[in-house]
């Protein structure tokens, strides 16, 4: 039965009077004070109401207490057992949760798990993050005009499997589900297949093989996969989640030739090079994907506000930039404003517009946005500009600039105001320059003999002479390349470097999320559970940052 207690109305008698003024002040300046004063009454508890009956069943826990406990659990990176203990005996938790009696101070592990499952099932983790973050931004008057975006990887708590491992684990998972679903259907499974994949006494661990054997066993595992898909198509087993995984793995890892099911049907195991990063990595987490640089898991995009001036509280002896002392200028927290979970195969550049749209829909869009090279695509810059946002991001370095010795590029040539080459990197003027009628294409011609003798020739982008009789070599470029040159040269200026240097601060946020919020070693798997960790962890970090500001401002 639904229980929502009133946390808005004041008390006739102060229930926390027993704490004494000093302990009370300590609590009010901590995360407990932030949760109690600024968040508790704004929890979207009504979103959980559909999971309860108004009249039937035992009265549930106060939804404020249950939701807050879930937030605090993520904020402190606690196990369920440790959370239950904290709810029962920790006075700071009681203060934060506004726990008044025994019924508020005891939550068994199972109840905690049930509430968490409701939050995950209802997608309330995202709602909680948005509603409460927006509330903190409002309460602490956080300036959201400057924000920075970056991504990190969240790894599921799952084993890394070989291709043979993926096939065999998928088969085993299906057989396990089938045995629990319908004994009669399970009895139809080929005993030899059961011996390879289930019956441990007959060797069962077909997927456990040395790498040299794995390649040999792969066709047999693929044949078993096809056999099961064919045998149970059209039966009630085809509705099992594991059957869908069988079909997916068959589609991703194999090619069925002449798939009519007759004698002409053949099965080909695809080459490694034919597989993409989107293929199933482990049947225990179908949403996890693979990136050659970052490995398996999920990408999480994080956007946060930043303050360009070092916080006054970090310089207690110095006046702040506008001449005010730190005591006159209260410290404001930098808060995570946007969290998004995506595939490892998605390019970071695709995350810019969703981040801007999300923050704009909540009225906290930035005016300036910092991101690394991956976010700074020209398309993104133009679309962001159309929304009134300046995307500050370095351009991709010119091709060959990472080589040793680096290739020269248009940036090393001196151009005039019209975009024509005046001088090459070796200090030579071109024999002639020209522009196409459309004005889109440019060309500079240099003396071939001079270039042939030039020590920079191997690095220079000028083309070879068109024929042995051609006395010139050409440098050709387009109008868009000129724009890119302007952008790259602007990035060399101290002004750009000063503006861009604040991007690096988000690495510290990522580090805190990984090591303080437990993102580095998650105990869950599956996209929904990973998203829960991401949203609640980011919210926990926001609360801790607000609490730190409250404490520093109180210190003066």
Within the chain, what is the greatest distance between any pair of CA atoms?
Answer: 101
- Interaction of residue 45 with ligand SF4, rule CB under 6 A: no
- Interaction of residue 431 with ligand SF4, rule CB under 6 A: no
User: Minimum distance between the CB of residue 460 and ligand SF4, rounded to whole angstroms?
Assistant: 3
- Report the residue number, 226 or 462, with the smaller CB distance to ligand SF4: 462
SS3 content of the chain, % helix, strand, coil (to 5): 50, 10, 40
Separation in Å, CA 9 to CA 73, 91, 104, 254, 362:
26, 21, 18, 64, 28
Asked if residue 508 lies in contact with residue 148, where contact means CB atoms within 8 angstroms, the answer is: no
- Report the residue number, 424 or 546, with the smaller CB distance to ligand SF4: 424
SS3 of 416, please? coil
User: Minimum distance between the CB of residue 489 and ligand SF4, rounded to whole angstroms?
Assistant: 18
Binding mask 501-520 for ligand SF4 (x = CB under 6 A): --------------------
Separation in Å, CA 450 to CA 254, 433, 459, 471:
58, 17, 15, 10
Asked if residue 549 lies in contact with residue 331, where contact means CB atoms within 8 angstroms, the answer is: yes
User: Minimum distance between the CB of residue 248 and ligand SF4, rounded to whole angstroms?
Assistant: 54
User: Minimum distance between the CB of residue 430 and ligand SF4, rounded to whole angstroms?
Assistant: 8
- Interaction of residue 456 with ligand SF4, rule CB under 6 A: yes
User: Minimum distance between the CB of residue 482 and ligand SF4, rounded to whole angstroms?
Assistant: 18
Query: Residues 426, 482, 524, 528: which binds ligand SF4 (CB under 6 A)?
Result: 426
Residues 103-142 close enough to bind ligand SF4 by CB under 6 A: none
Query: Residues 65, 392, 460, 513: which binds ligand SF4 (CB under 6 A)?
Result: 460
Query: Residues 462, 536, 544, 550: which binds ligand SF4 (CB under 6 A)?
Result: 462
Query: Residues 87, 228, 451, 531: which binds ligand SF4 (CB under 6 A)?
Result: 451
b/e map of 511-546 (b: 16 or more CB within 10 Å)?
eebbebbbbeebeebbbbbbbbbbbbbbbbbbbbbb
- Interaction of residue 421 with ligand SF4, rule CB under 6 A: no
User: Minimum distance between the CB of residue 412 and ligand SF4, rounded to whole angstroms?
Assistant: 8
- Interaction of residue 450 with ligand SF4, rule CB under 6 A: yes
Report the C-alpha gap between 506 and 512 in whole angstroms: 10
Query: Residues 140, 446, 477, 532: which binds ligand SF4 (CB under 6 A)?
Result: 446
- Report the residue number, 215 or 476, with the smaller CB distance to ligand SF4: 476
Query: Residues 425, 465, 505, 518: which binds ligand SF4 (CB under 6 A)?
Result: 425
H runs (alpha helix) in 48-197 = 63-76, 80-89, 91-97, 102-105, 109-121, 124-139, 163-181, 183-186, 191-197
Report the C-alpha gap between 485 and 350 in whole angstroms: 24
- Report the residue number, 217 or 474, with the smaller CB distance to ligand SF4: 474
Q: Catalogue the long-range contacts made by 455-460 (C-beta closer than 8 Å, 24 or more residues apart).
A: 455/426, 456/408, 456/425, 456/426, 458/405, 459/405, 459/406, 459/407, 459/408, 460/408, 460/424, 460/425
Of the candidate spans 1-9, 268-276, 353-361, 421-429, the one that interacts with ligand SF4 by CB under 6 A turns out to be: 421-429
- Interaction of residue 457 with ligand SF4, rule CB under 6 A: yes
Give the footprint of ligand SF4 on this chain (CB under 6 A).
424-426, 428, 446, 450-451, 454, 456-457, 460, 462
């Amino acid at each position: 039965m639904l229980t929502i207690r009133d946390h808005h109305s004041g008390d006739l008698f102060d229930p926390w009077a027993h704490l004494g003024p000093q302990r009370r002040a300590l609590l009010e300046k901590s995360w407990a004070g932030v949760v109690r004063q600024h968040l508790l009454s704004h929890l979207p508890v009504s979103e959980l109401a559909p999971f309860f009956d108004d009249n039937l069943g035992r009265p549930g826990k106060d939804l404020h207490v249950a939701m807050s406990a879930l937030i605090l659990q993520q904020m402190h990176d606690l196990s369920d057992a440790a959370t239950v203990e904290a709810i029962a005996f920790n006075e700071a938790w009681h203060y934060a949760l506004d726990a008044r009696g025994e019924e508020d101070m005891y939550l068994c592990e199972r109840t905690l798990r049930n509430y968490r499952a409701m939050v995950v099932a209802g997608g309330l983790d995202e709602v909680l993050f948005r509603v409460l973050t927006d509330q903190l931004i409002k309460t602490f008057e956080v300036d959201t005009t400057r924000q920075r975006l970056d991504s990190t990887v969240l790894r599921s708590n799952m084993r890394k499997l070989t291709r043979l491992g993926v096939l065999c684990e998928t088969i085993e998972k299906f057989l396990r589900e089938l045995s629990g679903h319908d004994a009669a259907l399970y009895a139809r499974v080929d005993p030899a297949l059961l011996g390879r994949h289930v019956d441990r006494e007959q060797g069962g661990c077909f997927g456990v093989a040395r790498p040299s054997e794995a390649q040999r066993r792969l066709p047999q595992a693929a044949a078993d996969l096809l056999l099961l898909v064919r045998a149970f198509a059209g039966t009630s087993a085809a509705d099992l989640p594991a059957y869908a995984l069988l079909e997916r793995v068959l589609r991703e890892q194999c090619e069925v030739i002449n798939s009519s099911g007759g004698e002409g049907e053949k099965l080909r195991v695809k080459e490694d090079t034919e597989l993409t990063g989107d293929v199933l990595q482990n049947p225990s987490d179908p949403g996890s994907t693979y990136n050659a640089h970052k490995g398996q898991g999920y990408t999480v995009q994080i956007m946060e506000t930043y303050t360009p001036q070092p916080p006054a509280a970090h310089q207690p002896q110095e006046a702040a930039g506008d001449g005010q002392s730190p005591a006159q200028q209260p410290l404001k927290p930098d808060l995570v404003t946007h969290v998004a979970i995506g595939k490892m195969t998605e390019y970071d550049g695709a995350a810019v517009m969703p981040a801007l749209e999300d923050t704009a829909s909540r009225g906290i869009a930035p005016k300036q946005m910092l991101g690394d090279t991956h976010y700074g695509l020209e398309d993104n810059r133009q679309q962001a500009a159309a929304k009134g946002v300046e995307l500050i991001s370095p351009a991709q370095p010119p091709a060959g600039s990472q080589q040793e010795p680096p290739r020269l590029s248009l940036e090393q040539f001196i151009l005039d105001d019209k975009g024509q080459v005046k001088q090459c990197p070796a200090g030579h003027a071109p024999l002639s320059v020209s522009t196409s009628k459309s004005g889109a294409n440019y060309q500079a011609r240099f003396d071939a003999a001079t270039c042939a003798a030039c020590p920079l020739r191997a690095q220079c982008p000028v083309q070879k002479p068109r024929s042995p009789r051609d006395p010139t070599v050409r440098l050709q470029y387009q109008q868009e390349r000129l724009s890119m040159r302007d952008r790259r040269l602007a990035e060399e200026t101290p002004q750009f470097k000063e503006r861009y240097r604040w991007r690096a601060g988000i690495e510290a946020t990522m580090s805190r999320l990984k090591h303080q919020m437990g993102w580095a070693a998650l105990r869950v798997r599956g996209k929904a559970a990973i998203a829960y960790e991401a949203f609640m962890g980011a919210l926990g970090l926001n609360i801790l940052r607000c609490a730190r500001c409250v404490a520093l401002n109180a210190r003066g």
